[in-house]
Structure 1
Amino acid sequence: MITVSVYRTKEEISGFIVEGHSGYAEEGLDIVCASVSILSYTVLNSINLVAGIEPEDISYEVDEDIGLMSVRTLKNNDKTDVIYRSFVVGIELLLADYSQYITLKFEEV
């Protein structure tokens, strides 16, 4: 199962961690895992390329072997908020059809 934990304060989302493998299908054919991965990588790249957050203000870790991606921003702006919220919408849409393979939780920081 993939666990998605979103870090937020009352004002904003500041990051997330994705852990695990969905188990939906074998490696290379797992559409659930691929969907979560593309959403996660899009956030990571958009924070810099769209929101203009400098790399030194982005903390991230990726370990594809264990199914881990962690992203935290040290500085946020209106664009990072939209990017993170779009990520949550994407995960919620996946949950509508694949809730047995993904969990979503929010952690106050």
Structure 2
Amino acid sequence: MITITIYRTKDIINGFIVEGHSGFAEEGSDIVCASVSILSYTAINSINLVAGVDPEFIIYDVDENIGLMSLRTLVNNDKTDVIYRNFMVGIELLLEDYSDYITLKFEEV
């Protein structure tokens, strides 16, 4: 099961963590893991390339062996908000068909 935790302060999203493997299919054929991965990697890269947040204000970690990807931004703007909300929409759409493999929760920080 993949557990996704969205970190927010009031209504401002400032990061997320993705943990685990879905178990939907074997490695290399798992469309659920691949979908979550592409949403996560796109968010991480977009924070810098689209939202213009300097790398020194982006904290992230990736460990594919244990199935971990985390992202936190120390600076947020309108574009980071759109990127985080886009990530969340993608995850919510996946939940519609794959809720046995993904859990989404929110944590106030």
Query: TM-score when scaled to structure 1?
Result: 0.99
DSSP-derived class of the 1:23 partner: coil
Answer yes or no: is 1:63 the counterpart of 2:63.
yes
Q: What is aligned with 1:8?
A: 8
1:100 CA drift (Å): 0.2
TM-score when normalising by structure 2: 0.99
Matched residue SS, 1:25: coil
Across the aligned residues of Structure 1 and Structure 2, the Cα RMSD in angstroms comes to 0.4
Structure 1 runs (4+) greater than 3 angstroms displaced:
none
Q: Deviations over 1:32-67 (max 9, x none)?
A: 000000000000000000000000000000000000
Aligned-residue sequence identity (percent) comes to 80
Shift in Å at residue 108 of structure 1? 0.4
**Where do 5+ consecutive residues of structure 2 fail to align?**
none
Deviation at 1:11, TM superposition (A): 3.1
Q: Post-superposition shift, 1:9?
A: 1.1
- Structure 1 residue runs without a partner (length 5+): none
Paired positions, count: 109
